[in-house]
Each structure stands twice: as structure tokens, then as C-alpha cells.
Structure 1
Amino acid sequence: MKNTILKGGIAAVIVLTTLAFTNTKKEVDVKASTVEWTGEKVTGSHNGTIQLESGHLMMEDDKIVGGEFVMDMSTITVTDLTGENKGKLEGHLKSEDFFGVEKHPTAKLVITSAAAKGDGKYGIVGDLTIKNETHPITFDLVMNGNSAKTNLTIDRSKYNVRYGSGSFFDNLGDKTIYDNFDLAVNLKF
């Protein structure tokens, strides 16, 4: 009798503990979400989009505790050019000079921690992988119901994306492309 009561008590504690610490997965709507990029060079800038392949946030008690997002690098598009110039730049960005899409079809962000700052704002720490190079990244993300927004600045030279970089090549002059590029991310869930 004592064993039955003890086993029942242990089982109840395990069930309650599991329910108390259950994470929920909040899947991103990849069709409704957007990732817009901007890259600058000495003589101007270009911008475009990249599509998400998949993504989710891990939530505990309605607070972000983790997540993972995969970008389909083959979907890089240029939105500030048209015609032949648009096609040339898109092809160049997909080539080994930049993101090497044939060998590296995806880029991934894994959220390793999130700290609530109030008013839906979180300080996010994660690992970003581009071209099989992984480096830590920090940024703020604002969660508002079934949407989230963030702006990230990424140093492409850390990910072996060095074409036209003044950090690696001398005498580029007005052909220099700045190392940092920006992503404006709007997620829908």
C-alpha cells in the first residue's frame, strides 16, 4: 500500500513538473514574414529580400526562451534594380564571391537565450551560420502578439564573404563594398 501511494505521489510530481516547464513552439508563417537586406558600397547601396525557409520561437509562459530560423539563400533578390543589372547582381550575390548558394543553400540563426526588457522587447543572443561559419550575434527583438520585428547588422567578413571588402583588399577605391549589411526582419506567426 505504501509503495502504491509513494509511486502515485512521485508520478504526480513528475506530471506537474513537466506541465510547469513545458515549452511551446510558435511556428513562423514563412509566406507572411519578410527579410529585407541592405548592403552599402562607397558609391551607393543596394537592397532586396531573402525568404525564410522555416522558423519558430520557443515560448515558456508567453516569454521567448529560444528559437531557430532558416533562410533560403537561393531566394536572394535585388529590389532596387531591374532588367539585366538586377539579374547580374542577383547572380553575383549567389556566387562564391558572396554567399556561395550552390554549396551553402541556407543560413541559420539559433536563439540561445532571450532576456525580457519590458514592453515586448527582448535582448536576444544567438548563433548565426552563413557559409558554414558560425558566430555569436546579439540584437533586440520586439514581440507584439502574433508578430515580431528586429533589425540586425551583420559583418559579412566574419562569414568568409570578402568580395570587395576594404578589410581584405587594398586599393579598391570606389569599388569598396562595406563589410556590414543590414537585415530588417518582420515575422508573422
Structure 2
Amino acid sequence: MKTYISILFLSISTLLFSQETYTITDNSSTLTWGGKAAVGGYAPEGTLQIQKAIITCESNTITALEIIVDMTSLYQENKQLSGHLRDKDFFHVKKYKIAKFTLSEPAAISSGTCILNGYMTIKDTQNKEQVKATVTIREGMISIAFNHKMDRTTYGVNYNSPSIFKSLKENVIADDFTLKGSLTFIKK
């Protein structure tokens, strides 16, 4: 019995200490967004800043991931568009200051890629998202890159949506937008 308990304790200790946690500590990570007109070629892009991000890995599996985005950092070079995206018509950043992605299940890394199943929260609305990511693991560092398409209307961002306002003829904005990231996490 003592041998069994010793083996169990050793196994649990090994499991606990083999997990490694990494965090974003500098500005080497980028997060960009892209929208587009439903008709025509207008496709504005801009940036967002990460407020906090932490990832935990064990072997070739991401066991935990949380990314908190500072929505007040939402930027587009056209100041008028930038202001409009920040107001109530779109992301209402005065009220909803952060957006968040939280991994909901472990993600196995295979051939440098994985599927991040988790919950995205925008404007206090939470939806399940499945994000395909490229993962690079080096000594003391993990990099994740993704280019993910999302439906803004599932988060209550309905302004000039063709699926919400069916009779709208002008200034129609596509429901899909992209969130592109290149994140570098450093070992804690």
C-alpha cells in the first residue's frame, strides 16, 4: 500500500511540475482586425492591444489559455471610423472595456498546429469559437498565430448588417470580420 501511495504521489508531482506557464510581457505581440463592406471592395483594418494573456502547456498540449483584449485600444487610421467603431453602434468601448478568449478544453498540438476551442466574450456576450492556430515552441517561448473569421452579429454588433436589416440597400457592412494575431508568450 505504501508503494502504491508513493507512486501515486510521484505521478501527481510529476504532472504538476511538468506544466509550464507563459505570459505576454512586452509589445512583440500583434492583434489586428479586418472588416469589409458587403458590396464593393472597402475593407478597413485596424489594431487592438492585448491587456493580459497567459498560456499553460504540458508536453504538446495547451491546457489553459486566456487572452484579454483592451477594447479601448481599438484603432483605425481614419479617426472618424475609429470613433464610430468605438461608439454604441459597434463595440461601445466605454461600457465594454475588454473582450476575452478562454480555452474550454485542452488543445493538442500536431505538426505545429492546433484547434483552440473556447469562449469569446465581446460586449458581455459569450459564444463558442473554434480557432485554428499555428504554434511554435522554443526554449522559454511559445508563439501562436491565427487568422480567424467571426460573425459580429452573434455578439450584438448589428449596425448595417445585411442579415439583420434585410431591406438596407446602402452602406451595408458584412457580418463577418477577421481577427488576426501573432502572439509571443515568455516562460514565467
TM-score category by the smaller chain?
A: 0.7 to 0.9
Name the aligned partner's letter for residue 168 of structure 1.
I
Alpha-carbon displacement from aligned partner over 1:77-132 (angstroms, at most 9, x marks no partner): 114xxxxxx11111111111101111100000001124435211111100000000
Cα separation, partners in 2 of 1:32 and 1:26, compared to 1, 3 Å = same
Q: By how many angstroms is 1:59 displaced?
A: 0.5
- Provide structure 2 residue ranges, at least 5 long, that are not aligned to the other structure: none
| Residues 1:143 and 2:135 are matched in the alignment | yes
**Which residue number in structure 2 is paired with residue 124 of structure 1?**
116
Contact persistence 2:52–2:67 (CA under 8 A): yes
Name the aligned partner's letter for residue 98 of structure 2.
T
Hey, what's the Cα distance between the residues in 1 that align with 2:63 and 2:107? Answer: 8
Specify the structure having the higher radius of gyration (Cα).
1
Q: By how many angstroms is 1:174 displaced?
A: 3.0
- Matched residues, percent identical? 28
| Residues 1:91 and 2:89 are matched in the alignment | no
Alpha-carbon displacement from aligned partner over 1:45-91 (angstroms, at most 9, x marks no partner): 10000010010111112421220000000001114xxxxxx111111
Of Structure 1 and Structure 2, which has the larger fraction of its residues in helix?
1
Name the aligned partner's letter for residue 9 of structure 2.
I
**What are the residue-to-residue correspondences of 1:25-174 with 2, within 5 Å?**
25-41=21-37, 42-43=39-40, 44-79=42-77, 86-116=78-108, 118-145=110-137, 146-174=142-170
Hey, what's the Cα distance between the residues in 2 that align with 1:65 and 1:158? Answer: 27
Q: By how many angstroms is 1:20 displaced?
A: 2.0
- Provide structure 1 residue ranges, at least 5 long, that are not aligned to the other structure: 80-85
Q: Select the residue among 169, 173, 185 that pairs with 2:181.
A: 185
Q: Select the residue among 4, 9, 19 that pairs with 2:14.
A: 19
Contact persistence 1:25–1:56 (CA under 8 A): yes
Hey, what's the Cα distance between the residues in 2 that align with 1:29 and 1:39? Answer: 28
Hey, what's the Cα distance between the residues in 2 that align with 1:30 and 1:136? Answer: 28
TM-score (norm 1): 0.86
